[in-house]
Amino acid sequence: MGGAASAASSTQSILLPQARFATGDNAAWREPNFDDSGWKLLSTTQYYEAQGFEGYDGYSWYRIHVVIPSALRESSDWRKRLRVYLSAIDDSDESYLNGVLIGKTGRMPSDPGGYEGRWDVVRDYQVDLPNDSIRWDADNVIAVRVYDGGGGGGFYRDTPHLSIPQRADGLQFDQAQASHRLLANGKIQSVLSVRNSYPVAQRGRLEIEVRDQLKNRVLMTRKQSIRLAPQTSQTLRWTLPSGPGIQARLRYLDAGSGHAATAIHQLPYRLTPPDGPKPALHGARLLGSRPGTPLHYRIAATGRAPLRFSAQGLPRGLKLDGKTGVISGITPKEGRYIVKLGVRNALGSAKREWTLVAGAQLALTPPMGWNSWYAHGLAVSDSLVRKAAQVFIDKGLAAKGWSRINIDDGWESEQRAADGQISGNQRFPDMLALGQSLHAQGLGFGIYSSPGATTCGGYLGSLGHEFNDAATYGRWGVDFLKYDLCSYAQTLSKPPTLDEQQQPYRLMNQALRLEPRSIIFSLCQYGEEKVWNWGPSVGGQLWRMTGDIDDSWSSVLQNGFAMAPYTGVVAPGRWNDPDMLMVGTLGLGGAPHPSRLTPDEQYSQVSLWSLMAAPLLISNDMRSLDEFTLGLLTNHDVIAINQDALGKGAQRVLDRDGWQVWVKELEGGSMAVGIFNLGESLRSTQIESSLFARPGQFEAFDAWRQKKLGLKSKNIDVTLPAHGVALLLVK
């Protein structure tokens, strides 16, 4: 869990916000003396697609010109390295300084082993000093050869920069190793790893100061000495106060030079109150299913065990397991069936109406579930998927309406059988049994493929086998298909026509519709050709709006906040998918790490996705689901905003000085209001209530804290930490 902990220091750096750019590939373009003056100048913090190269996949080059002053070298007490930080590049790169290779991430199609995209990895290249290829006080060229396999391409995250590190910069507050455990007394136990990443010993002092930004008070300070041999690390443990706006500032002071490296950890805090022992019902109030198809549904409820369930008015063909709350059977003929769901325990009972809408429409509320991708990448397995389902039940996610378990890329066999049939690979020995076990728990079973010959991960896609694959999914009991463009992009003309873009989705939809199942169709082609305008016409219920998200704030801005113009198209069965929630332990099957979003950024992401009525898809490693993340995901008042039956996407009604207000109309006339501080520090403001309430008095409720704020009539005052949110319900 969060805590942006990138070390900062007194080291000077040169920002590289722009580069010359050309599509194509030519070995001469790495040379410093090549004349690139005719190339277009692009920003290095945004995909080239967004800067005039819409839809381009394949090779391209960036050339960054930079004068490296010798004074930069003189300002360092170490002078052993030039750091060339190139941020993240989509998808693979080879980077040269004045014609000499300084780093490479991922693989090019012509490399041994073939193409491998590593869009998610930060390129932090280091050049040993002294180095003859550097031209001090003169023009240098960093030339970056890029291959984009599909979707967004090129530089896209934070600003690349150059520096000559100090010795103290070798000391890093290792984000991947940090962990925070919320204690019952409201404090947190923090374990932090301090690592010396340089080949030189570190000796100095570490100071930690815990500060409450809201009250502007120092809550705790501590000092300790640090001695670290080259390439070693030390673990530090502290019990710290927790709450909104509380941060730990870490400062390492090098004993020799007095240079400092600093980092700020935003500490996690839980807002969601614990569930009470009395029975309560949660989750969406309606479900769409096609007549005559199998149905699996788990009633979402909390309360002290044992719970007993009832369902009055359940149509014939469906039955309820009174102990587990799982409803199963065959969807009745077309119609709206109003069922009175009930739950009771020793302390009382709760009832509420639930409507089964038997008809053509699926996903009447945004799908909520888990997807394997960001946790396990291509290493996903049957046992990891079963584990995720188990955690859904054991940790109370299913009790709040989390109901789908979706396998992403990496399940497919290496080859098809002689008759063309696909099967699971050795990590998925029995897909039918896996689906059955999910259904027995009242959970949905999701799968992934591509209309291309291969998927983005290089596995088998469905090209030429669409009907065969749909039939296989039908046999396995699949309820959800994510269909990811990937290699199909290479078969399209450049630029592709709208019809060409739609065709593979139309085809797979036809195949899916032959199956006697209610299969939700999730389109993944990164938002190309304004898919939100035609997604329903090719059978989709949800469609990705953008390229892949990652656990950085800029990605949340790009995938989430930038979607404001398109929320008007959202309606039941028509959902804009800004990609998954970046919460919990992530790692794409490689090095697991807590989400790099700060706790406030995570509250903001969950709030914004709820307001936009986005599909709520988590993708964390469920084996290490922590208390903070659980709090983020089990707040039934927040989830109810997302699952509201009206199915509206919030409108952004204010965007001023780094403040944004998003308002979502809810069934019954109330409004959900998100107030976001997009600024870089804790700030206060006053929001005009006319943006979301009728004149006169209105009742306000804090959704995260589940607390009444009372009757209000005036404007609303908020103080929010950097990138933080207030999520209100207004009646």
So which residues are the catalytic ones? 484, 548
Hunting for tokens 């039934």 — which residue is that? Answer: 636
Label the pairing between strands 335-345 and 308-312. Answer: antiparallel
Tokens coding 660:
């944004």
CB burial string 297-329: b at 16+ within 10 A, e below: bbbbbbbeeebebbbeebbeebebeeebbbbbb
Amino acid at 449: S
C-beta closer to ligand GLA: residue 438 or 549: 549
Q: What is the DSSP letter of 291?
A: T
C-beta closer to ligand GLA: residue 20 or 107: 107
Rounded (10°) angle between helices 382-394 and 431-440: 0
Hunting for tokens 């396990």 — which residue is that? Answer: 376
Least distance between ligand GLA and beta carbon 459 (Å)? 8
Least distance between ligand GLA and beta carbon 129 (Å)? 37
User: Residue 266: phi, psi to the nearest 5?
Assistant: -80, 125
Bridge partner list, 19: 42
Hunting for tokens 């949110």 — which residue is that? Answer: 725
Least distance between ligand GLA and beta carbon 582 (Å)? 12
C-beta closer to ligand GLA: residue 259 or 404: 404
Residues at the interface with ligand GLA (CB under 6 A): 373, 408-409, 455-457, 484, 524, 548
Tell me which residue has its CB nearest to ligand GLA: 456
Whole-angstrom Cα distance, residue 523 to residue 536? Answer: 10
3 state SS of 454: strand
Hunting for tokens 């909104």 — which residue is that? Answer: 244
C-beta closer to ligand GLA: residue 373 or 561: 373
Least distance between ligand GLA and beta carbon 373 (Å)? 5
DSSP string of 322-389, one letter each residue: TTTTEEEEE--SSEEEEEEEEEEETTEEEEEEEEEEESS---SS--EEEESHHHHGGG--HHHHHHHH
Least distance between ligand GLA and beta carbon 455 (Å)? 5
Least distance between ligand GLA and beta carbon 525 (Å)? 9
Query: Cα torsion at 363, 369, 373, 376 (round to 10°)?
Result: -160
State the Rg of the chain over Cα: 27
Measured between alpha carbons, how far is residue 61 from residues 37, 39, 49, 718 in Å? 14, 10, 14, 46
Amino acid at 622: M
Burial label, 657 (beta-carbon count in 10 A; 0-12, 13-18, 19+): exposed
C-beta closer to ligand GLA: residue 108 or 250: 108
C-beta closer to ligand GLA: residue 337 or 505: 505
Burial label, 496 (beta-carbon count in 10 A; 0-12, 13-18, 19+): middle
C-beta closer to ligand GLA: residue 473 or 659: 473
C-beta closer to ligand GLA: residue 19 or 545: 545
Least distance between ligand GLA and beta carbon 619 (Å)? 9
Label the pairing between strands 575-577 and 542-544. Answer: parallel
Least distance between ligand GLA and beta carbon 57 (Å)? 13
What are the start-end ranges of the E strands in 231-317?
Answer: 233-240, 246-254, 260-266, 280-282, 286-289, 294-298, 300-302, 308-312
Least distance between ligand GLA and beta carbon 523 (Å)? 11
C-beta closer to ligand GLA: residue 367 or 457: 457
CA angle 35, 41, 46 (to 5 degrees): 135
